[in-house]
Structure 1
Amino acid sequence: MATLNAAIAALERRVGFPQSRARQVARSLQEAGALPLGGPGKPPEINIDDLVTLVIALAADVPLHQSADAVRAYRNLTPGGADVSRAPASVPRNAGEEIDAIIGLAADGNSDVRGVKLEFVANWPEAAVRWHDGSISRFRELGALAAVWGAGGHRRSTTINMAALADAIQEVFTGA
């Protein structure tokens, strides 16, 4: 089974998230019940969903006490800020479903997702998936316009290369 410490080390090596910050964010998520705690003398064991939770919290770049809320907010963003409650099943309901599907493919070793980039905007809740062909799927809070900035000033975002994240996933869960 994969441990949280192995995930934190792999995320620093492969994706570039500093271990010091990742440990603080992970602790905050554990305190909020969003990541598992270890037992006496036993490190926390994680699954792929836990790794995704940690990655989203790190990419959101919010104060520690807001980490768990940020993960929930980013997961619940809808495609283009639209109400998709009556959309066909082929349309992702929220960013969490889309990100989970992409990372699931990466965990299975699918090379088609290695050219994808995930982007998380820190100034306002927005996630984007940048596809191989140059198209972008934007996810915003319900009712927001995806083509309009959510706040004034500079836009801060974190972009994650799926090839690097896929390598980290393979390292953590398969030892490759």
Structure 2
Amino acid sequence: MKLSKFAAAALIGLTATAGVASAAPLNYPMLARNGIDASQYSDSEARQINTALRNGDVTTARYYINHEDRAVEHPADVNPGTAQLAAQLGLNPGNYTTGELEAVSTALRSDNMQNVAFVEAHDNRMVPGAKGVVTPGKAQIAAQLGVNPADYTDAQLNLMMSNVVGNGDSGLITAQHNYK
């Protein structure tokens, strides 16, 4: 009988703890006092806003409230750090992301001019396998098929290639698959 009372007390305690734990992420008093809907933010963002408001840090609070932490950097987004790095590299900061400028800087320090040229030509932005992007491998497969590599994706060329078989002497022949 005592064991069941103990088990019941433990169960009540665990249930109460679980209820408090699940309610804790939604309890941001500073957000509520300032009319900020916590459901519009991740738990981490809500905590940052709550802490910033509690500490009187309006700049940080606004940063998270306006979802600036979610912003994606675009090449035209020039900040003082990007401008300085671009100036050191002799590049236009409006044409590169910070990551691209850092990649050029790293490549220059490593004396890897091939990577510098790769980023400066914006070849790093190409989506491999996409239509219009021609890689040496894609060009080779397209040449074997007698098609323009820029007109097809990698997947389309691979599908076309899977439908042909080389006979060793006269090039490629079409294979017919009969599935029953």
TM-score, scaled to structure 1 = 0.22
Q: Which has the larger radius of gyration?
A: 2
Higher strand share: 1
Q: What's the TM-score, normalizing by structure 2?
A: 0.21
Higher RCO (CA-CA < 8 Å; seq separation 6+): 1
More helix by share: 2
